[in-house]
Structure 1
Amino acid sequence: MKNLLLASTSTLFGEHYLEYILDDVALFFKDVDTITFIPFARPGGISHDNYTEIAAKAFAKINKKIIGLHTYKNAQEGISKAQAFFCGGGNTFLLVQQLYAQGAMHYLKEHINTGKPYMGTSAGSNIAGVSMHTTNDMPIVYPPSFATMQLVPFNINAHYLDPDPNSKHNGETRETRLKEFHAFNSTPVVGLREGSFLLVQDTKITLKGKHTARIFEAQKTPYESKTIDF
């Protein structure tokens, strides 16, 4: 049975890391005391050790221990020994490239499908979807595949932004980019706004937070929804 918590972001503006979601995280991880942190997305090029330290500081507030996956001899050993997982945000291209390079993408999926809880934020949520095609990140490295763990039957667009009618910026909106995706792909996309997250218990998906999600489906007009049902 899958147990997933997939958040748009780790940090709301003006808050500390994971502050807005810690109560939900504590409940989600209530049956484990140690969580294996996947630091490979490295936001801003931060080191694995420094990123793990940031996560550990936040989880200490709910009396949970963090251990970095990078500290094991190899990723598969760390995944096998893990009670649960947290994959932080950053660059999705780098995260996916590293998971494939270490033979960890499918191995991680297998362990999550046995019931080990998995939490992702931003890039860590992106890889729970069918593919990483709808990430917002720059392609700083080249992964061998854009396919991800396919734990849910859709893609996630984290940090979804609505068009600003007062903006002077003439570049493409997020909605435009996702319409471009659907010119060539049929996978549905869930646009998750800041502060929103999904709780997945096997096939049941619950949208949490104060916002609706923006849903994109091929050959359909985008729409708002409080439920995720694909």
Structure 2
Amino acid sequence: MPTTRLLLLSNSSAPGRGYLEHAREAVAAHLAGVSELLFVPYALADHDGYTAKAADFFAELGIRVRGAHTAADPRDLVAAAQAVFTGGGNSFRLLKTLHERGLVDALAGRVRAGMPYMGSSAGTNMACPTLRTTNDMPIVQPPSFAALDLVPFQINPHYLDPDPASAHMGETREERLTQFLEENDVPVLGLREGTWLQRTDDRLTLHGLATGARLFRRGTAPVEYAPGADLSELLTARPSFDDHAG
């Protein structure tokens, strides 16, 4: 049976650290044996510049990088890729482009067949069943919120805890996720900055900074998890959304 291998980061940059440096060891282990990586840069407008930034980091690991945007039909690159990294940025723009280029099914199919997948921020959102727990502004309109569905639960990257001292009068992140759960019955994992998930087949573990992650479920109080926690139970979730359109 193919091995499902995911590395899902909340963020690509940590304060005082360079691009992906906070997760360097995890990235290197995840991509062990990979000599060329396919980078999906569609979350930002400057595809060439974004790909060059990723290439600089991965060159230090001895891995060449090719941007998915460099092919007339990027599905050809996906079909031949050793591994894929989907970078962060605006998740609405990213998902819209994946749908337009026929990459949702292409990427999901390769990952389920054993190709390692790595995402950060918006790229982590893409691993979920839908886009619905992103933090981003909908600067464009995807044809569907349906994403890659590589895990059966939702993730909220860059999760921020409520700040009692804040003068901001809008909803906290916790309130927004509670509103999501009023309409959809599916676990949501709030990944704080500097944390990430690793999946190998039926095992899912939390890693990164001591701040850890917070799990939200409908009808129950949020639960805290520290790095090293086994979250494999989330892989058995049976998500229920308010419609069938994703």
Residue 219 (structure 1) aligns with: 219
Q: Give 1:187 deviation, angstroms.
A: 1.4
Q: Distance in 2 between matches of 1:106 and 1:220?
A: 34
Q: Distance in 1 between matches of 2:216 and 2:130?
A: 15
Q: Give 1:130 deviation, angstroms.
A: 1.3
Q: Distance in 1 between matches of 2:216 and 2:191?
A: 11
> Matches of residues 104-123 of structure 1 in structure 2 within 5 Å?
104-123=103-122
Cα deviation, 1:162-216, whole Å, max 9, x if unaligned, reads: 0112212221100000001011001110000011000000121010112321001
Q: Give 1:92 deviation, angstroms.
A: 0.5
Q: Give 1:22 deviation, angstroms.
A: 1.1
Please provide the CA RMSD for this pair.
0.9
Cα deviation, 1:64-94, whole Å, max 9, x if unaligned, reads: 1110011112121110111100000000100
Q: Give 1:222 deviation, angstroms.
A: 1.2
Contact in 2 for aligned 1:22/1:62 (Cα 8 Å): no
Q: Percent identity?
A: 45
Residue 65 (structure 1) aligns with: 64
Q: After TM superposition, which residue ranges in structure 1, 4 or more long, deviate above 6 angstroms?
A: none
Q: Distance in 2 between matches of 1:146 and 1:224?
A: 28
Gaps of 5+ in 2: 235-246
How many residues were matched structurally? 227
Residue 2 (structure 1) aligns with: 4
> Matches of residues 150-161 of structure 1 in structure 2 within 5 Å?
150-161=149-160
Residue 18 (structure 1) aligns with: 20
Residue 39 (structure 1) aligns with: 41
Residue 169 (structure 1) aligns with: 168
Residue 27 (structure 1) aligns with: 29
Gaps of 5+ in 1: none
Aligned: 1:102 with 2:104: no
Query: Taking structure 1 as the reference length, what is the TM-score of the superposition?
Result: 0.96
Task: Give the aligned residue type for 2:230.
Answer: T
Contact in 2 for aligned 1:130/1:187 (Cα 8 Å): no
Q: Distance in 2 between matches of 1:159 and 1:153?
A: 20
